[in-house]
């Protein structure tokens, strides 16, 4: 079990016990102070509901913690960006507000032109001029 998930489990058990204690205190002490009297048996279904909610939120949180972060390169293919400096054949492009090292598939691309990501080599993106794609009918 991952340490983050284990810490979450311990925290959920602790807070769940505090919630249960708070519920008992409110029903047995707090509500009678303002002349509201609930039967003690109402604690059982309320406590069960609260426990089910805690289990559900624990499972959702542990699944969220176990998802591996995506670095970003794999899902960038097909995205469009703008050339920041001349690509001849390498330079920089701006995609999703981030600067990336890039190189062209072929030829030179001037700054300000739109490009499409077609591949990657390590941390360097391979791009193609978007206007060239439209003029040649490449999708």
**Which secondary structure element, helix H or strand E, spans residue 104, and what is its range?**
strand 98-104
Please calculate the CA angle 46-52-55 and round it to the nearest 5 degrees.
140
Give the start-to-end residue ranges of the domains of the chain. 3-66, 74-136
Distance CA 116, CA 135 (A): 14
Question: Average pLDDT for residues 125-129, to the nearest whole number?
Answer: 90
Please indicate whether residue 76 or residue 20 has the higher confidence score (pLDDT). 20
Please indicate whether residue 139 or residue 79 has the higher confidence score (pLDDT). 79
| pLDDT score, position 73 | 58
Contacts 24+ apart (CB under 8 A), 9-13: 9/58, 9/62, 12/54, 12/57, 12/58, 12/61
Residue owning tokens 């001029």 = 129
Cis peptide before 43 (omega within 30 of 0): no
Residue percentage of the chain with pLDDT more than 90? 39
Its pTM stands at: 0.46
74-136, CATH topology level: OB fold (Dihydrolipoamide Acetyltransferase, E2P) (2.40.50)
Distance CA 67, CA 58 (A): 15
């Amino acid at each position: 079990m991952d340490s983050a998930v284990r810490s979450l489990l311990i925290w959920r058990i602790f807070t769940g016990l505090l919630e249960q204690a708070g519920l008992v205190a409110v029903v047995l002490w707090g509500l009678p102070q303002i002349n509201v009297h609930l039967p003690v048996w109402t604690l059982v279904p309320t406590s069960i509901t609260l426990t089910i909610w805690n289990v559900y939120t624990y499972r959702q949180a542990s699944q969220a913690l176990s998802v591996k972060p995506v670095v970003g390169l794999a899902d960038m293919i097909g995205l469009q960006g703008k050339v920041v400096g001349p690509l001849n054949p390498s330079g920089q492009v701006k995609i999703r507000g981030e600067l990336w090292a890039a190189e062209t598939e072929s030829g030179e691309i001037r700054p300000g032109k739109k490009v499409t990501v077609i591949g990657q080599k390590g941390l360097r993106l391979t791009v193609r001029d978007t206007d060239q794609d439209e003029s040649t009918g490449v999708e």
